[in-house]
Every structure is written in C-alpha cells, then in structure tokens.
Amino acid sequence: MAIIDVKNLSKYFRVYKKEPGVLGSLKSLFNRKYENSKAVDNISFKIEEGELVGFIGPNGAGKTTTLKCLSGLIYPSQGKISILGYTPFDRKSDFLKQIGLVMGQKNQLWWDLPPIESYLLNKEIYSIPDRQFKETIEELAELMEIKNILQVQVRKLSLGQRMKCELVAQLIHLPKVLFLDEPTIGLDVVMQQKLRCFVREYNRRYKATILLTSHYMDDVKELCRRVIIINQGGILYDGLLENITKKYSTHKLLSVIFESPVKKDELQSLGEIKLYESTKVNLLVPRKDSNHIASHLMEKFDVADLNIEEPEVEEIVRKIFTAKIV
C-alpha cells in the first residue's frame, strides 16, 4: 500500500479584486469581486515507502501548496489525501509525530541558548523516550557534523552551522515521511553538497519516504530517481528521471572544440548554438541529423574534439515547462 496517496487534489484560493483609491475601497465594501486562482488543479500520485521523489516546477507552479496540503497546513478544496493511513488535515498528533516539513529558513531554535536545549524541548513535545533521543542525537549530529557545536549558543553560530542545527531540530523525531521545500536555497555550493549527502543518507538509513521540491535541477539529479513535474497546478510528468531524456529529447547536443575560431554565421545554419566561446561550441541539432551534421563539421573544419551527447535535463525540463508537452 502506498505511503502517500493523493487523489484528485485541487486547491483554489480566493483572490479579492479591489480597484485602487478611495472609490474602489468603498465599492469593495458592498460588492466584493473575487477570482478563484487555481494553485493546484486535480493532481494525483502515489509514493511508496522509502522513495525519494523530486517535485520540480517553476515558481508558482503549486509545489509549496501541495506540500502544505500533504502536511496538513492547508485544507484542500477538493480531493483526498492519505499519508500513512491518516488524512493530513485532521492533524492528529500521531500523524504529526511521524512527518516532518522543512521549509527554508524558519527559526525554531531559541536564540540565546545552545541547540541542545531546543532539541530537549522537541523531545518532550514529540514524546521521544530518553534512550532513543540520545541515539538519534548521536547519529544526526554525526551526519550533519555538528557534534562540537551542540553546546554553543545559537546566536554565536555561523549561518551554515545554524541551518544545520535547525534541520536537526526538525528531524529529532525521525519522521517516516519527510517533505523538503527548497532545502538548498540560499546555500553555498559546499553546503548544498553536504545537504544532499545528508538527505541521501537519511533516506537510506531510516528508510524514510522523502518528497523534495526544488528548482535546482542538481538537487533532483543527484538525489531522485523519480520526478514529478508540475506546472500551473497540474502534473506534466510522473516517472523516472532518466526516461525524460529518452522520451522528450528531440535533439542531441554536439559539443565541439575547433582548432581555430569559427565564425558564428557558418554554424547557424546547422543548428541552435547553445555555447559559443571562440573555439568551443555547443550545438543543438535534431536527433536524426546528429550523425550527419557531425561528419559535416569534421569535414569542413579542423576539429580537435567532438562529442555527441544527450541535452541537459534542465534544457528538456525548460522545454516541457514552456511547451507543456504532456
């Protein structure tokens, strides 16, 4: 049985329209005009235990709204959600004890105290037994490399250290289902990498089901085998990441390094120039013509190196967003 089961989930928001100025304010007192804006429109999906699924889409696609519906913070307009057998919006404490939602930079830790104090408070709130708490702290602190700062006041920590501690605070109760909303946003490259390692390890060690939203493709590429692409409230694709490339790429990428610089207009007739740096050129060409164009290039110019590659996933995803291929 699927751990997460979403059926026909829809969420509409009422957006009130008001004309500017005093007259508009008066008018709106008597006759409130509103529109229903569809944040999420009839989406359905199932996630099994232990899966690590990526939820990608551009800004405003409905990712955060979906996550909030799944964690019980928002009441769906239509549809049914079942997580671990519970309906999220009932907000039963047994349900809340098993899920975790990590959303950006919310400050949950007490500022003047060391993180361990905040963890102890969460321990009581989540009714975690002493021994389990000790073990969990040990493991999580080791994974996130915060063992030596557990006793340091939060206000004395650097931003990176603080974020790691915040994350641990939200995982003290070892949630079986974890929702991560843009976890790497605002982090430097090193931290992003560390965070991804951590997520992967958490998924592996605790067999946690993880749903991750991001608009950094790198997060998804490194962590998720399965992705759900959402745009304008609807699901465009739900399947394995590798299949996107096979299914949707109508083009191939020729990455060429010439011996000497080649003029742009000589290449423009052959395909779409993706990169042009004197001797280094990336050319996007139709799939069926790739071999033909490659040999043409090698004949006509002095080529030092040539590779035929699948286009980057970002490229394909961007195309899916803009063209809405179903």
Partner 1 sequence: MKYYFNVYKRLLKINFSELIAYRAGFINSIISSLGWGFFQMVWVYLLTAKIKSAYGWNRDELVILAASYILFMGIFHMFFSRNLDNLSRIINYGQLDGYLLKPIDSQLLLTCWQINYSQIIRLFIGSYFITSTLIQMRYYPSVTNVIGFATLLIFGIILMYAIWFVVATLLIWNPQLSNLIDFLYNITGMSRYPPSMVKEFKSIVLLFFIPLMLTVAVPVKAMINKVLLGDIVQLLIFSIFLLYISRQFWHFALRYYASASS
- Beta partners for residue 280, in sequence order: 257, 277
Nearest-approach distance from CB 240 to partner 1, in angstroms: 31
Nearest-approach distance from CB 175 to partner 1, in angstroms: 10
Nearest-approach distance from CB 151 to partner 1, in angstroms: 12
Nearest-approach distance from CB 15 to partner 1, in angstroms: 10
What is the token pair recorded at 79?
């549809």
Nearest-approach distance from CB 30 to partner 1, in angstroms: 19
Residue 95 CA to residue 102 CA, distance in Å, equals 16
Q: State which residue, 71 or 213, has the beta carbon closest to partner 1.
A: 71
Q: State which residue, 157 or 256, has the beta carbon closest to partner 1.
A: 157
Concatenated DSSP letters of 76-125: -SEEEEEETTB-GGG--HHHHTTEEEEETT---S-TTS-HHHHHHHHHHH
Question: Taking the CB of residue 84, how many other CB atoms lie within 10 A of it?
Answer: 17
Q: State which residue, 65 or 192, has the beta carbon closest to partner 1.
A: 65
Nearest-approach distance from CB 237 to partner 1, in angstroms: 24
Enter the DSSP assignment of 148.
G
Residue 125 CA to residue 143 CA, distance in Å, equals 23
| H or E element in which residue 163 lies | helix 159-171
Q: State which residue, 57 or 311, has the beta carbon closest to partner 1.
A: 57
Contacts with partner 1, residue ranges (CB under 8 A): 13-14, 39, 64-65, 68, 71-75, 89, 91, 93-97, 99, 101, 103, 106-108, 110, 112-113, 117-118, 120-121, 123-127, 153
Q: State which residue, 94 or 277, has the beta carbon closest to partner 1.
A: 94
Look at the block and give the residue holding tokens 């990428």.
Answer: 253
Q: Are 34 and 16 in contact (CB under 8 A)?
A: yes
3-state class (DSSP) for residue 276: strand
Radius of gyration of the chain (CA): 25
Q: State which residue, 110 or 276, has the beta carbon closest to partner 1.
A: 110
Nearest-approach distance from CB 212 to partner 1, in angstroms: 17
Q: State which residue, 114 or 271, has the beta carbon closest to partner 1.
A: 114
Residue type (1 letter), 24: G
Kindly tell me the sign of the dihedral angle through the C-alpha atoms of 302, 304, 310, 311: negative
Enter the DSSP assignment of 271.
S
